[in-house]
Structure formats: structure tokens, C-alpha cells
Amino acid sequence: MMMNHSWKSQFKLNPGTIVKGIWHKNQYTILKELGFGANGIVYLAKSEKTQVALKMSDNGMSITSEVNVLKSFAKVQGSALGPSLLDVDDWQSSQGKISFYVMEYIEGPDLLTFIQQNGKVWTPVLFLQLLNDLQKLHENGWVFGDLKPENLIVTGPPPRIRCIDVGGTTISGRAIKEFTEFYDRGYWGLGSRKAEPSYDLFAVGMMMIHTAYPKRFNKTSGGIAQIMEEVRKKAELLPYEGVILKSLKGQYIRANEMREDLLSLVIKRETDNSSKKTVDRKDSGNQSHSNQGLTRQNYKKKRKKGRFKETILLFIFIAIFYGIYIFFFTS
């Protein structure tokens, strides 16, 4: 049966509750609830000295399934995308036996909150990190599936993107297990729900758009036309337009290709801006990071205004000079 509300209230554990595994005999003290979703409740818990995240569900299958994914994540060398798995067990509670697993506690704001708090400069950095991790995941024969900003946490310092909720992670070539409409290419009529790297990259493209539309937007006509129209409405997305378009059209076969395009964009912008950099820094010295982009625009505007004044002054000067010339030399 699906998880219903009675289940949720039944297993609302109070802080201080001790959860002890039947098989491995490890003991966890519940500290607080971190959140819940369709597949269970996640608690912050204490194990000996460290803090861990503990996920519980009445659906033992979904626990087992997520554990399988976390185990295979651990085999992906050099990638720290998902939380590491610490324990799997059952707990004999007063209400009955219940399955749970314990994972690394990933602490930090979600992707959009982080960018809001720390500035848009972080957008390309975090997406480059994400694409790097996705590349490794894909190389190992997995597709993340349910990629969305709520499932991406920025830990640190130094800031590092990580993901929680691996419930949608699917073996390449199978049907995507879990998805969220806005990030799902099938929903927009732009592709199948087969687990392929390009499925994830579509979601990455949509997340880039989401950074400029905190409330997202609704599907009207759907298709590439509607989405790209929304993209063109936001100045901050214009530099990424090409990359977004390619990802939505499924033209990136591998995460690395998208990463390289994004990277060369960033490098290009840097070299373009480097001439103004010294002035720019002075100008925004006392501003917070979050409106650096804005400051740059203002600066450009000011500069344009300045040039305009110069031109007018020059014009007046010439006019006066010409007047004097005429006055003296024609009379």
C-alpha cells in the first residue's frame, strides 16, 4: 500500500527515541526530523559521537532499493555525489518491525537557496561540479533520474554540490523510476523516459533555467519553443542559451560535453571582462557578492552615460568654436 498519513503520524519519532537494529545491533538516538517524502521519513540521529541521517519507511522494498543504489554509488571512484551508506537494518518498534538505513548526514542549503544567499557567481561553479559527478555516475552505468534543486545540497566550505534522495537512480537503458515533471523531458514532449545520460542532462538544463525562475513556470504549449522563449526573457540566462538549448534537444550524449561547453563559456566571459576588471572590483568593493552581476550592469550603464556626456560636450565645444570662427572670419 502507499504511504498514508496514518503511517506518518504513527512513526513520528520523538527526539530522544532510541532506534536499535535487530541484525547489526547498532544504536541510534533520534535528534529531529529532517524531512519526509513519498518514500519515508528521514531523521537526524546520533550514533556514538557522529551525526547521521536515518531513513525509515513502511515500504521495506523502497528501503532495499535505495540501499542498492547507495551501495553502487560507493563503487563510483572519485565521486562524492550521493551520501555514503553506513548501515541497513530493521527496528522492532512498539508498532511493529520497520526497515531503515543510515547514511552520511549532508548538511547545507539546497542549490537554489545557496545561490540566493551567496550570489549567482556560484551558478556555473556548482553546475560544473554536478556535471563532473554525473559523468562518473553515467560511466558506471547509472542515470540519476530525479534530478531537481531540492535534491541537491551545497555543503562546505569549500562549497561542494551533493545529492540526497537517490530513489530515482536507474540502471542505464531501463525505464526511469522516479521523476519530477518540470525536469522531465517526457512531460515537455521532448523525449522518452528511458534512462540515458541525456535524460539527466535535460534536467540539468531545466535546473539552470530554474535558477532564473525561482517559482518555475507552467507548461502551456510545451515543447522547445515555450521553454526557450522563457529563457530569452531572462538576461542572466542569455549567456547560457546555447548550452541550455543543446541539453534540451538531447544533443549532449555525455555529461562531459556539456561541461566543456559550459566551461569554455565561463572562460570566454572572463577574458571578455578582464579589461574592466580593476574598475569593476573597486566599484563593487563594498557590495555583497549577491549583486555583483547587477553592479557590473550598472557600471556599464554609468559608463555609457559618461560617454554620452562627453559627446555632447565635444559637440557644444565645436559649435562654439565654429561660431567664433564664423564671427571673426566672415565679418
Ligand X SMILES: Nc1ncnc2c1ncn2[C@@H]1O[C@H](COP(=O)(O)OP(=O)(O)OP(=O)(O)O)[C@@H](O)[C@H]1O
Report the catalytic residues. 146
Residue 34 touching ligand X (CB under 6 A): yes
Residues contacting other proteins: total by CB under 8 A: 29
Segment interacting with ligand X, rule: CB under 6 A, options 37-45, 72-80, 196-204, 308-316: 37-45
- Alpha-carbon dihedral sign for residues 259, 223, 151, 292: positive
Continuous H helices in the chain: 5-10, 60-75, 111-118, 122-139, 197-210, 223-232, 241-248, 255-273, 277-283, 292-330
Contact residue for other proteins among 108, 119, 186, 293 (CB under 8 A) = 186
Return the closest-CA partner of residue 210 out of 189, 187, 240. 240
Q: What is the maximum alpha-carbon separation in the chain?
A: 112
**Complex with ligand X: residue 38 or 314, whichever CB lies closer:** 38
| Element housing 31 (H / E) | strand 27-37
Q: Which is nearer to other proteins, 199 or 252 (CB)?
A: 199
Among 37, 109, 119, 239, binds ligand X (CB under 6 A): 37
User: What is the spatial distance between Cα 258 and Cα 253, in angstroms, rounded to a whole number?
Assistant: 9
Q: For ligand X, how many residues bind (rule: CB under 6 A)?
A: 17
Residue 25 bridge partners (DSSP) = none
- If one asks whether residue 58 binds ligand X (CB under 6 A), the answer comes out as no
Stretch that binds ligand X, among 9-17, 34-42, 87-95, 243-251 (CB under 6 A): 34-42
The answer to the question of residue 194 lying near other proteins (CB under 8 A) is: yes
CB of 234 to ligand X, least distance (A): 27
Per-position DSSP letters for 166-231, written without gaps between them? -TT-EETTSB-----GGG-TTTTTSS--B--HHHHHHHHHHHHHHTT-TT----SS-HHHHHHHHH
Q: Does 181 bind other proteins (CB under 8 A)?
A: yes
Q: β-strands 18-20, 27-37: how paired?
A: antiparallel
Query: Quick check: 170 binds ligand X (CB under 6 A)?
Result: no
Q: What is the helix (H) or strand (E) element at residue 92, kind and residue range? A: strand 85-93
Q: Pick from 13, 30, 42, 69: which binds ligand X (CB under 6 A)?
A: 42
40 touches ligand X by CB under 6 A = yes
**What mask of x and - would describe binding to other proteins in positions 138 to 177, judged by CB under 8 A?**
---------------------------------x-xxxxx
| Stretch of residues binding other proteins (CB under 8 A), selected from 56-64, 134-142, 153-161, 269-277 | 56-64
Q: Are 23 and 90 in contact (CB under 8 A)?
A: yes
**Residue 250 binds: one of other proteins, ligand X, none (C-beta under 5 to 8 A by kind):** none
- Assess contact for 162 and 172: CB atoms under 8 A: no
Nearer to other proteins, 109 or 186 (CB): 186
Closer of 183 and 240 to ligand X (Cβ): 183
Kindly tell me which of 173 and 214 has the beta carbon lying closer to other proteins.
173
Grid cell 522547445 — which residue? 224
| Ramachandran sector of residue 227 (left: φ over 0; alpha: ψ -120 to 50; beta: rest) | alpha
Judged by the rule CB under 6 A, the positions of this chain that interact with ligand X are 34-40, 42, 53, 83, 103-106, 164-165, 167
